[in-house]
Amino acid sequence: MTPILTVLLLLAMAATAYVLVRGVMAMASGKDVTGERQQQWMRRRVLFQAVAIVIVILILVVAGSSGS
């Protein structure tokens, strides 16, 4: 089960990095006067970071239970 969680963690980390870059690009473009689009990208980043943290916790739980 740990290899599956590891792959999911890598995907979540890649998604976080992608969304972060897109958010910075949206911010740098200056086209969005209200900032709503930038906020959407940053909300997605926080979501993917939360998913990555949950997966890390699951990996630790699985590793801890198999070690006993």
Predicted confidence (pLDDT) at residue 25 exceeds the cutoff of 60 = yes
Give, as one character, the DSSP assignment of residue 51: H
Task: Identify the sign of the CA torsion 6, 54, 51, 29.
Answer: negative
Four-CA torsion 4, 43, 22, 2, nearest 10 degrees? -10
Per-residue pLDDT, averaged over 3-30, amounts to 91
Percent residues over pLDDT 70 in the chain: 97
| % residues pLDDT > 90 (the chain) | 54
d(CA 62, CA 19): 28
Residues near 27 by beta carbon (within 8 Å), at least 6 away in sequence: 38
- How far apart CA 58 and CA 41 sit, in angstroms, is 26
pTM exceeds 0.85: no
